[in-house]
Every structure is written in C-alpha cells, then in structure tokens.
C-alpha cells in the first residue's frame, strides 16, 4: 500500500483485513452466481417433473403451502421422458412446444387423482452440464443418478480443461450443484474440479475464425495432405495451450519436415544393442526425459516438442544410434505423434528391439514412460558470481566444487573485475567465498 496513511507498506492481503476493520465493515465472499432461471420454453431439455392440479389449487392443497396446486411427479413415475414430436421448434407464443402435445401434458394429479396438467417447460441445458461428470461414471444406473461408491472412487475431477467463457456460468453452476450434493451427503467432497485450465483460441492468419469470413480451418484436408500426427504436433507446438495461437500453413510444413527426419533416424541404428551414448548425449537424453515429462504435466506441449527437436538434432549427429536412445526417443514422441511412433516402434521391434515380436498388447502406448537418472543430469558447471565490495561485477562459468583459491585466480584474471579493482586503487584485503555460488572481494 502507498499513499494510504497508516496502511502504507502493508501487503495487500493484510491491508484488506485491516482496512475492513478500520472502516467497521464485514468481509464476505461475493459469488457471481445470480438468480438462475432454469426453465425454458423449448423442446430440447429434460422435462421438469412437476404436475399442476386446478382442483388442488382451488382448495389450497399442494406439496408446499406456498405453491398450492403443484405436485412433484411420484418417484415411481420417474424419469419423465421427452416425447418424440414432429414440430419441436419454439412456438413464438411464450409456451413450450410440448404444451400442444396433449398426450404429454395431460396427467393425473398425484394427490386427488383428477386430470391435471404436466409442466411443459424443460430445464435449461446448463442444469445438465452441472453434473454430467457424476452421471458419466454410472450411465446405466436406472435407480439413481449415480453410484456413491463410483463417485468416491473417481471424483473429484483431477483436471478440467475448457474455454474461459465457462468460468462464470457452467463452472460456477457445477460448483453450486456439487456443494448441494455434498450438503445432501451423497458425495464426500465439495469442489468438483481440482484444477482448471482455460485453453486459448486458435486464430487463422491473424483473424478470428468465422463462417462469415470463410476462414474456418477444416482439419480434414490437413489430415489428408500431412497426416494426423503432423496436424496434432502443429497444434500443440504453435503456441502455449493457455494462450492459443495463429494457424499458418507455413508452420505445418516445418512439422512435416521434423517427422520426416524422425522417420530417417532408424537408418542410423547401431548394429547391436550393446552400444551406448557418449556422456554428453546421455545427459541430454536424460534431461529431455525430465523436461518433456514435466512439460506434459504442466500442459506446456510446445516446449516439450522443442525439446524433442533438440534431442533429434543430437541423435542425428551420431554415426551410430544406440538402441536404448532410439527406444526412449520414440516413447517421448509417442504422445505427440501416436501413429508414426507406433509404426517405427513396431518396425524396430520386428528387428529385435525391446518389444520383440510385436503384439497389440506390446503397443508403444502401453509402455511405461521412460525414467531419467537424476545423477546423469546434474550440471558440472555453474555461474560463479564475482562481487567487488558487495556489488556484482562479473558472472563466470566455473566447475562445481571449485576452491576459493582457484575462484580468486579466475576472478583476478577477469578484465572487468581487474578494471574495478584498479579503479579503487587497491587490492583485495579480504575475500568472502560461498562455495558454488559467489566470491566477494573486499578492497
């Protein structure tokens, strides 16, 4: 906080509390959930299982005092199914298309058994989308919306990826219904999604895709010309998932060339499985396993693919490609190019590779993700910071474990350090050394 008298210097979270107290207010969470009208005068939607009875209405009877005449459909008659009708278009009369279906709308009053009128509005589709992930677990269940045990086993959803436009409607409704289920004690959690990521929008040559502009990208043509793997990698590579990006045809040919190079790699395969990689290549391989694995977890597909490209260039340089590195490369590629990696893997296997005698159950997509060896990716070099009187004057590339004496020698040979020392017209009286980090020369 600045310019705020006694609150100056307070951090914002603390200030919120203190200022509220100062002003004599109350803190409360303001949800953006507004009144939500769930009925629609449309055909498509689940019928609302209610019946209105004129007789009961006149005599003030009903399920609830404040709603005379209204009864819910008895449990044994549920679900009320949407009837097949010929003309399902909105009527323009303010009434639902179901209202003119006498067979549907005529129903017996559950209380007085007289003829009554079934509710003909349907519920908003947003109501269904609030809880579909509960039903998906147990779609065949005829007695209950979903099985408690399945919900306990599979939910809450680990990761929800959707459009940002859902953040105030669908996602808020889902949370609302989930909290209601929790209060009814039919689930044991009160937030439906552990993680949510909004994906970005893909535009075309700088403009938003739209039918009227005629710049919609239809993937079918690209599948035909380049294959699904190229298209898939291109989409994952063009931009960070959360940002979206610009779809350009030139970009696709770059990915096509990348996969063509991948296809040629097998020509370099070593004669036997005995050969290994040099220390440096081995290090890059293990670093790649780590980085690509972490990038996938974090949805950073574009940087994972860059790393695959770096690794490919390294492997291409080898005169003879060790089997285990080819094996790992294909596995790292598999999530991005599922078809090509499987094909190359089968070919490799047929030649005596790791999954010798290929069968369906030996698919590359059933293989465990490669493991990296932390010892192999440890850097031997680090950036040694050189300070003169506490100010950073140079950053030198040094070997991990360098001694104070060797660090001092390196520093004294560095031109910019020399310059600062001579400008102070002195020599180091004292040195402060933090191993593998910094050296401070006190003049």
Site of interaction with Zn ion (CB under 5 A) = 53, 55-56, 109, 111-112
Element (H, E) at 46: none
Cβ-based nearer residue to Zn ion, 55 or 176: 55
CA distance 367 to 334: 10
How far apart are CB 106 and Zn ion at their closest, in Å? 13
Q: Indicate the residue among 107 and 292 with the shorter CB distance to Zn ion.
A: 107
Task: Please name the residue that has the structure tokens 């097949």.
Answer: 84
Least CB distance from residue 55 to Zn ion, whole Å?
Answer: 5
Complex with Zn ion: residue 109 or 187, whichever CB lies closer? 109
**Which is closer to Zn ion, CB of 113 or CB of 317?**
113
Distance CA 401, CA 435 (A): 7
- According to the 3-state scheme, what is the secondary structure of 143-163? CCCCCHHHHHHHCCECCEEEE
Q: 75 or 379, CB closer to Zn ion?
A: 75
Which residue is listed with tokens 């560095």?
A: 414
Nearest distance in Å: CB 32, Zn ion: 40
Q: Are strands 430-434 and 438-442 parallel, antiparallel or unpaired?
A: antiparallel
Terminal alpha carbon distance of the chain: 39
* SS3 call for 213: coil
Minimum Å gap between C-beta 73 and Zn ion is 13
Cβ-based nearer residue to Zn ion, 107 or 252: 107
Within 13 A of 337's CA, how many CA atoms are on the CB side? 29
Shorter beta-carbon distance to Zn ion: residue 112 or 157 = 112
Residue 51 near residue 60, CB atoms below 8 Å: no
CB of 41 to Zn ion, least distance (A): 24
Least distance to Zn ion, CB of residue 62, Å: 8
Spatial separation of the C-alpha atoms in residues 214 and 217, rounded to whole Å: 9
Distance CA 50, CA 117 (A): 9
Q: Which of 159, 156, 157 is nearest to 298 (CA)?
A: 159
**Smallest separation (angstroms) from Zn ion to the CB of 68:** 10
Q: Which is nearer to Zn ion, 112 or 438 (CB)?
A: 112
Q: Least separation, in Å, of the C-beta of 74 and Zn ion? A: 13
Q: Which residues of 116-131 are buried (b: 16+ CB within 10 A; e: fewer)?
A: bbbbbbbbbebbebbb
């Amino acid at each position: 906080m600045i310019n705020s008298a006694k609150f100056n210097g307070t951090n914002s979270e603390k200030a919120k509390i203190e200022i509220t107290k100062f002003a004599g207010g109350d803190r409360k969470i303001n949800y953006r959930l507004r009144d939500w009208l769930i009925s629609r005068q449309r055909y498509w939607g689940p019928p609302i299982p209610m019946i209105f009875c004129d007789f009961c209405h006149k005599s003030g009877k009903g399920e609830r005092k404040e709603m005379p005449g209204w009864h819910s459909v008895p449990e044994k008659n549920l679900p009320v199914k949407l009837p097949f009708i010929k003309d399902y278009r909105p009527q323009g009369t303010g009434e639902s298309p179901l209202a003119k279906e006498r067979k549907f709308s005529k129903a017996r009053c559950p209380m007085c058994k007289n003829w009554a009128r079934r509710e003909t509005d349907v519920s908003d589709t947003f109501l269904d989308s609030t809880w579909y992930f509960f039903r998906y677990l147990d779609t065949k269940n005829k007695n209950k919306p979903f099985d408690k045990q399945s919900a306990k086993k599979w939910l809450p959803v680990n990761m929800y990826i959707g459009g940002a436009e859902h953040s105030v409607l669908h996602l808020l409704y889902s949370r609302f219904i989930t909290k209601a289920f929790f209060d009814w004690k039919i689930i044991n959690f009160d937030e439906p999604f552990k993680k949510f990521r909004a994906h970005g929008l893909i535009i075309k040559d700088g403009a938003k895709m739209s039918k009227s502009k005629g710049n919609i990208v239809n993937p079918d043509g690209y599948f035909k010309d380049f294959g699904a793997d190229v298209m898939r990698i291109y989409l994952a590579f063009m931009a960070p998932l959360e940002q979206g990006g610009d779809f350009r045809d030139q970009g696709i040919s770059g990915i096509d060339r990348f996969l063509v190079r991948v296809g040629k790699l097998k020509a370099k395969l070593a004669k036997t499985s005995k050969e290994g990689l040099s220390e440096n290549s081995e290090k890059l391989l293990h670093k790649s396993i780590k980085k690509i694995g972490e990038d996938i977890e974090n949805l950073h597909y574009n940087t994972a693919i860059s790393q695959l490209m770096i690794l490919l260039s390294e492997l291409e340089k080898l005169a003879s490609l060790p089997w285990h590195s080819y094996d790992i490369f294909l596995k790292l590629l598999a999530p991005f190019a599922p078809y090509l990696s499987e094909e190359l893997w089968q070919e490799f296997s047929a030649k005596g590779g790791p999954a010798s005698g290929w069968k369906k159950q030996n698919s590359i997509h059933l293989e465990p993700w490669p493991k990296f060896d932390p010892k192999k990716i440890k850097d031997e070099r680090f950036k040694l910071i050189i300070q003169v009187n506490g100010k950073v004057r140079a950053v030198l590339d040094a070997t991990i474990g360098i001694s104070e004496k060797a660090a001092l020698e390196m520093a004294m040979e560095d031109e910019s350090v020399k310059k600062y020392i001579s400008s102070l017209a002195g020599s180091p009286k004292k040195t402060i050394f933090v191993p593998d980090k910094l050296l401070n020369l006190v003049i």
